[in-house]
Amino acid sequence: MTTQAAGTRDLEYAVGQLTRVEGEGRLHLRVDAGGAVEAQLQIFEAPRYFEQLVVGRTPDEVLDIVARICGICPVAYQMSGVHAFESLAGVEIDPGVRTLRRLLYCGEWIESHALHIFLLHAPDFLGYPSALEMAADHRALVERGLRLKKLGNRVVAIVGGRPIHPVSVRVGGFYRAPTVAAISGIREELRAALPEAVETVALVAGLDTPVADRDTRLVCLRHPDEYPMSDGRIVSSDGIDLAPGDWREAFHEVQVPWSHALQARTADGVPYLLGPTARVVLAADQLHPVARAALDATGVGLEELRRNVFRSIVSRAVELVHAIAEAVDILDAYERPERAWVDAQPRAGVAAWATEAPRGLLFHRYELDEAGIVRAAQIVPPTSQNQAAIERDLEQFAPGVVDLPHAEATHRLEQLIRSYDPCISCATHFLDLTIERDR
Amino acid sequence: MVIAAGNVFLPRERLDALFDLLHEGGRTIIGPTVRDGMLVLDRLERVEDLPIGWRDEQAPGRYRLVQGATQRAFDVVNGQMSWKQFTFPPKQQVGTMRRDASGSVAFAAVPPDPPRLAFLGVRACELAALGIQDRVLAGGTFVDEDYRARRESALVVAVQCTRAGDACFCASMGTGPEVRGGHDLVMTELDAGFVVSAGSPAGERLLARLPGRIAAPAEEAEAAAEVAAVRAAQGDPVVIEGLRDRLMDQLDSPRWAEVAERCLACANCTMVCPTCFCTSTAITSDLDGHVNVAERQWDSCFNAGFAKVAGGNFRPERSDRYRQWLTHKFATWVDQFGTYGCVGCARCITWCPVGIDVREELAAIAPPAAPPEQMLTRPAAATPGRFEVVTLRASRRETADTTSLFLQPTEPALLAGLPGQFVMVEQPGFPSLPISVSRYGTDELVLTVRAAGPATTALIAEPPGAQIGLRGPLGRQWPVDRALGRNVLIVTGGIGLAPLRPVLDAIVASRDRFGDVLLAYGARTPSDRLFTDELETWPQHGIEVAQIVDRAEPGWEGRVGVVTQLLDRRDFGRRPTVAFVCGPERMMQATVTTLRDRGVAPERLFVSMERHMQCGIGLCGHCQLGPYFVCRDGPVFSVGELGELFGKEGL
Amino acid sequence: MTATTVAAPRVGVVKMASCDGCQLTLLDLEDELLAIGERFELVDFPEATSRRSEGPYDVLLVEGSISTPEQAEQIEALRERSTLLVTIGACATAGGIQAMRNWGNEPEWRAVVYPQPEYIESLAQARPVSDYVKVDAELRGCPIDPGQLLELLTALRLGRRPQLPDEAVCLECKRLGRVCVLVAGGAPCMGPLTVTGCGALCPGFARGCYACFGPRERANVTSLAGWFAADLGRSGPEVDRLFAGFTGWSEPFRERARRAVSRFGTGDADGSVRGEPGTDEEAGA
C-alpha cells in the first residue's frame, strides 16, 4: 500500500502485521523525496504491566509470574530472575544445581532455535509462506526441525515439568531435581541428533542469502570458563565490561511514540546487537568443539556473521549444535544433586542480574523490602534492546527494496526483521523505575 | 489371632532369606519404602529398602514420617496409597476399537497379563479391603478378569500391627489389628525378629524353607501382647451396632450441609480408600478416528460429572456427594455386598486436605440410638452391697481440706480403669461415696478427696493400714483416644484437676501422639491448688500449664481472675482441638461458651457432670439428666451429646 | 460416511494480550503437526504463516485476554466470522495474570510503567473473551495442555464432544501415586480446588499447585483457605496471594485475589478497594 501523505511529498510505506514472529507488530516506513527512509517498528502488542504485577510478591512467586512474559523463552525469565534473587540473598547453590540449570537453559535454546530456524525463518529462504506449506516439498527438513525442537522441549520438560512455563525453578535451586532414571532416555536421543544439528549448520550456511553489510556493536555475557549463558560479565565488541547486575551503568531505556515497547540504548546512543551472532562472535573460543568445527566447516567467518544480519540463521544453527552437545555432556556426567535447593533468607536491597535468553541478554532488576517482598521491578528483554538496531538496519536496507512490488518488498523487509528473531510478546512490558512505591 | 504353636521365629538379621524366597521365579517384591522423604509402596530389592527406623504420625489432614526410637522395619502403619494400586490399577487400558477407511470395525479387549508380585507388609485392614474388593469385583455375576488375575498371581505376606495408627479404627470395623485370613504368610515384628506363620498351602511351603526355629512361647506371647495393645489403644470410636439403619434414617440430617461447608469434594478420600472401586473410561483417538483406545481410570462420586446426565446432575451439591459416599461406605454397601465398605484404615481422615474425620461425622450424623456401652473395663463388684476390700497404704495432704489416699487393691480390675472413671467408696456405717480416681499406678489406686461432709471427713482421717471397700471403676471415661494427633485443652478448677490427672498421665506416657497440650487451671487461692509439684514438672513433658487464682496470697506472682481468662487471645480453631473440662457447672458453662466462640466443635468438647449418685450403676435413679443416668452414661459427656441439657437449670 | 471424508475445517489462530505460549502449544505437537496441517486448513495463524485470511473460520482458536479498545472491537468481528470460537489458555478463559491489574488504577500503572503514558492505548481491565462474545468451548491452563489441544482437534474432526475433565488435580495426583504435598509436606496446594489437565505437574515437583487451570465448579475457597491459615499457619496475605495467580479473576477466586492485590500498594484509586480489611497482617510492610 502506497499513500500520498497530505501536504507533503513524502511517501508512507506500511506493511501489515508481521508474521512468523512471536507477538504482534508492524512496520512503518517513511520515505522522503530524497529516498531516505525512516523506519518505525511498531509494536502494538497489548501492554501487560508485568513490572507492576510482580510488586507485592515474594521472589518465588515472581519466578512463576515472569515466565508468563514469554511462552517461547520462559526459562530465560526464570533464570535472570532466580540469579538476581540469589545474588542479593547471598545464596551458594549446589554445583549440581548450577549444571542442571544450564541443562534447562540448553533445552530452551534448542527448542527456540529449532523453532526459529526450521519453522519461522527457513520458509523465507526457500520461498514459502509457512513451514506447513514448505513441508509439501521439503518434508524431511521440516520433520528434522520438529524432531530437534521436540528434543529441546523434552529437556525442558524433564528438568522443569513442561516446555512452556516450567514449574521447577525456585530461589536456592529446584523444587525437585530429576532422577538419573528420568534423564536416561533423552541422553541417547540427543547424542543421536547431534549429527543432524551439525548438518543443519552446513545447510543454512548454503542457503541463498541476501547481502547486507554494516558495522554493529555486539553485546553479550562473557564467562572465563564457559559459553555465555547465565553467568559472567556483560561485555561488548568495543570495550564495555560490567558485572551482570550493573546493566544500567551503560544502558538505558527510552520510549518512542510508535511502540508499546521501550527501546534500550547505550549511553552514547549507538544501537547494539544481542543474540546468537553476538555470542558466537564474542565467545567463539568457548563454543563446544563440535559446534566450532561445524561453523569452521562452512567457511562463513566471524566477521561475515557480524556484518551480514541475514547470516544470523547460521549463528543460530551453530548454537543449536552447541546446546545439544553441551546437554549431552551434562547428561553424561549427571548425578542427582544431594540437595535440590538450599534455603534463602529474605533480604532487603536490589537484586539484579542478566542472562542470555535465546534472543540475547535479558536484564532483571528488583527492589526488595526487609520481608523479601518485591517493591519495584525493571525487566529489559533482548528484543527491546535490538529494536533500535532493527530500525537502523531497515533504514539502510529499505531504499533498495521499497520500489519493488509490494509483496516482494514486504517479504524482503520481513525477512530482515525475522533475522533478529524478534520476540514481541517479550518486548511489551517495561518499567522505568523512577517512582518509589512506598506505602 | 493366627499365632499358634509351631510358628517360626525369623531372626531380624535373616529377613533377607524371606526376600530371597519371595524373589524366586522372578517375582517382584512390592512393599513400603521411603522415596524423597515420602512413604510409598514400590519395588523392594533388598531388606534395606524397607522403612527401617521410620514411623508415621497421623492426624486429620496431616501425615509426617519421622525417625522412630526402634530399628523396626514395619513401624510405619500405612502410607497414602493402598495395595489397590497393584490389584486394581489407577489407569488401565481396557481395549482398542478400530475403524478402517471402508467403515468396518473391530474391537479387541486387553487380556489379563498380571505381573508376578509378592506383597510384603499387608496389614489386617488391607487384607480385609482386598477381601471386600474380591466380593465387589470378582464375587458377583460379572467378574473383572484383570482384577481376578492380579489377585490370583500375587503372594501376600501380611504383617500384624504392633503400633497403632493415630486415627486407625480397625478394631471398631472388626477388620484388625489381628490378621484373620487372606494371607499366605503373616509376620509379627518383635525387636529381635519376626514370629511367622502360614495361612495358605503356598505359605506353608515358604514357611518350611525359612531359616529360623520354632518360636518360643514367650515370643508368641509377646507378639500377641503387642497386637492386643494396638487394639486397646484404638478404643471403639465407631459404634457399628445398627449403623446401617441409623445412617439411612438420617438422610435429611442438617449435618450433611454442615460437613459440606468443610468438604472440598476433591475426591481424595475415595482415591486413598482401599475399597472404592468406581471408574470411568475415556477414549483416545487418532486424528482420523481409525484407532481408538479405551482407558479406564479411577473415578469418584465426588466429581461434578459423576452423576451427570444430559438433563442435569443428580448430585449437584457437595452435601449430596458427601452423603452418597458416607451412606455407601457404611450403609448401602452392606445391602449390596454384605459387608461395610470401610475397613478402618483411616486414610480418608489423614489424607483429607481439610481434616474431615469420618469417625466424628458418623457420631454426629448417626449417633448410637442409646448412649454406647462405654464401660470398657469389667468393674469389680458392681452390685451394691458387694465390694472389694482395699488397704490404705498412705495419705498425703494436698491442701487444707483435700487429701490423696493411696490404696492397694487385690483385685486387678480396679487398676484397669480409665481416666475419668470413678469408684464407689464404702465405709462401714457411711453412705457410699462416688470418688474419681486421680491416678492409676501399677499396683495402687489414688483417690483425691475433699472434706465436704462427715463421710469424706472420716475417709481422709483413716490411718495407714485401714481397710475400706471399693466398687468400680464405673462410668464413662474421658475419650483420650479422640485426642490422638490433636491439640488437647484441659480446663479445670480446684478439685476438678483430680479426675483429669489420669488424662495428663496418659498424655505424658505417649506425648508425641498428641498435638499441643494446654492445662488451664484455676483455684480460689494459690494454696488451694492440687498437685503443685506436678504443676511444676508437667511443662518438662511438653504440657503448657497456665494458672490463675481468684485471690492472690503473699508470694503469688501469677495471674488473678477466672479460668476463662486463661483462654483469651488463643485461637483453638487452628488445628482440631479436643477439650476436657471439669469444675463447677457455672465454670464449665463459661468455659464452653468461650471455647465454642473460639472454634472448638461441640462434639470435641467434653465435660464431667456432677449429679447425686448413689448406686453408681444406673439403677437407683438419683442422677438422671434428661435421657441419661450420669453415673452410667456419664459422668463424661460431649457438649454435643448434652445439647440443651447442658447449662439448663432445674434438670 | 467415515470421518476422513469430512472437508478440512478452516482454522484460525489469533491472539489478544498474552505470551504466545498457548498457540505455541499447537507447534509443540511435533509428532502430529504435519498430520494436523493435512487435515485442517490453517487459514490464519500469524505466528506460523505469512498467509493471512480474514475468515470465515469453521473454528477460531483465541489466545489472550481482551485488554485494549482495539481488541474489544476485533473480538466481536472475529466472532461474527467464526462458526465455533474456542478460547485457549488462562488469559482467554480467565483474564490471565494481567487481570490482576483489574483492581489497580490502570492509568496510574501505565504512568509508572511508561515514561510517556499518552502513547499507550489500554483498557482499564484485562478480561476473558467470554465477557465480550459467546464462547463455544474452552481449554484451560497456563499454558494449555498439548494433549487437551489434540483431543479438542480430534473431537472437532470426529464430531464428538471433547473429553476435558472437570475434576480436581488431586485425582490425577493420586492416580499417579504422588504423595500429597499438602497433607504430608505442609505445602499450601491449590490442587483440591483446581481443575486437572496438567497431569498434576507441580505436586510431581514437590510443590503446591498454583491453580493455573483455574477453579473447579463450586470450589470451596472458604474451607481450603481457612485450613491454610489455621492448620498450616500461613498468613492472611500469603493465602490471599495464592488465589491472585493466573486464574485469580475467575470466580470464586476473585474476592481473595482482590484482597491480595489491594495490599500491593497500587490499587486504591478504585473505590471498591479502599478501606480493605486485613491490611493489619500486611506481609511486606
Q: Report CA B590 to chain centroid distance, whole Å.
A: 30
Q: How far is CA C73 from CA A18, A123, B119, C27, C78, in A?
A: 20, 32, 64, 28, 9
Nearest CA in chain C to A73: C21
Residue B318 is nearest to which of C39, C158, C218, comparing CB atoms? C218
Q: What burial letters (b/e) apply to C146-157, b meaning 16+ CB within 10 Å?
A: bebbbbbbbbbb
What is the least distance, in Å, from the CA of C212 to any CA of chain B? 17
B neighbour chains, 3+ CB pairs within 8 Å: C
What is the least distance, in Å, from the CA of C57 to any CA of chain B? 20
- pLDDT for position A95: 93
How many CA atoms, within 13 angstroms, populate the side-chain half-sphere of residue B415? 12
**Residues of chain A positioned with their CB less than 8 A from the CB of C210:** 64
Distance in angstroms (rounded) separating the CA atoms of residues A332 and B564: 66
Q: Report CA A59 to chain centroid distance, whole Å.
A: 23
pLDDT in tens, B570-612: 766 556 789 999 998 889 999 998 888 777 888 889 999 887 7
Which span out of B80-89, B405-414, C100-109 was modeled with the highest average pLDDT?
B80-89
- pLDDT for position A396: 86
- pLDDT for position A435: 20
pLDDT in tens, C29-85: 999 999 999 999 999 888 888 888 888 999 999 999 998 888 999 999 999 999 999
Task: Report residue A5's pLDDT band, with 50, 70 and 90 as the boundaries.
Answer: very low
pLDDT in tens, A263-320: 777 878 888 999 999 999 999 999 999 999 999 999 999 999 999 999 999 999 999 9
Are the Cβ atoms of C171 and B263 closer than 8 angstroms?
Answer: no
Are the Cβ atoms of C50 and A437 closer than 8 angstroms?
Answer: no
- pLDDT for position A253: 81
pLDDT in tens, A63-102: 999 999 999 999 999 999 999 999 999 999 999 999 999 9
A118 touches chain C (CB under 8 A): no
Are the Cβ atoms of C19 and A170 closer than 8 angstroms?
Answer: no
Least confident span in A235-244, B259-268, B324-333, B511-520: B511-520
Amino acid at A220: C
Is the per-residue pLDDT at B358 higher than 60? yes
Answer left, alpha or beta for residue A209, where phi above 0 means left and psi between -120 and 50 means alpha.
beta
Are the Cβ atoms of B354 and C179 closer than 8 angstroms?
Answer: no
- pLDDT for position B376: 42
Mean pLDDT score of chain A: 87
Are the Cβ atoms of A52 and C101 closer than 8 angstroms?
Answer: yes
What is the least distance, in Å, from the CA of B328 to any CA of chain C? 20
Beta strands at B91-99 and B291-298: parallel, antiparallel or unpaired: antiparallel
Are the Cβ atoms of B81 and C174 closer than 8 angstroms?
Answer: yes
Q: HEC string of A228-259?
A: CCCCCEEEECCCCEECCCCHHHCEEEEECCCC
Q: Which cell is B305 given?
A: 460429572
- pLDDT for position C114: 66
Is the per-residue pLDDT at B649 higher than 80? no
Is the per-residue pLDDT at B337 higher than 60? yes
- pLDDT for position A11: 45
- pLDDT for position B483: 84
- pLDDT for position C282: 31
Task: Report residue A8's pLDDT band, with 50, 70 and 90 as the boundaries.
Answer: very low
Residues 326-345 of B with CB under 8 A from C: none
Is the per-residue pLDDT at B233 higher than 90? no
C193 touches chain B (CB under 8 A): yes
pLDDT in tens, B471-530: 888 888 998 888 877 889 999 999 999 999 999 999 998 888 888 899 999 999 999 999
What is the least distance, in Å, from the CA of A111 to any CA of chain C? 9
Residues 19-48 of C with CB under 8 A from B: 32, 35-36, 39
B650 touches chain C (CB under 8 A): no
Instruction: Read off the pLDDT of each residue in B540-557 and give the average, rounded to a whole number.
Output: 92
Nearest CA in chain A to C261: A56
Q: Which cell is C136 given?
A: 463455544
- pLDDT for position A4: 41
Instruction: Read off the pLDDT of each residue in A411-417 and give the average, rounded to a whole number.
Output: 83
C104 touches chain A (CB under 8 A): yes
Contact criterion met (CB below 8 Å) for A112 and A358? yes
Instruction: Read off the pLDDT of each residue in B458-477 and give the average, rounded to a whole number.
Output: 88
Are the Cβ atoms of C166 and B272 closer than 8 angstroms?
Answer: no
Is the per-residue pLDDT at C284 higher than 60? no
A neighbour chains, 3+ CB pairs within 8 Å: C
Strand partners, A273: A218
Contact criterion met (CB below 8 Å) for C266 and C108? yes
B62 touches chain C (CB under 8 A): yes
C246 touches chain A (CB under 8 A): yes
Whole-model pTM: value is: 0.80
Is the per-residue pLDDT at C4 higher than 50? no
Task: Report residue C118's pLDDT band, with 50, 70 and 90 as the boundaries.
Answer: low
Residues 68-107 of B with CB under 8 A from C: 79-81, 85, 90-91, 99, 101-103
Least confident span in B18-32, B161-175, B410-424, B439-453: B410-424
Residues 83-122 of C with CB under 8 A from B: none
More confident residue, A179 or B68: A179
pLDDT in tens, C29-45: 999 999 999 999 999 88
N residues, chain B: 651
Is the per-residue pLDDT at C267 higher than 50? no
- pLDDT for position B510: 84
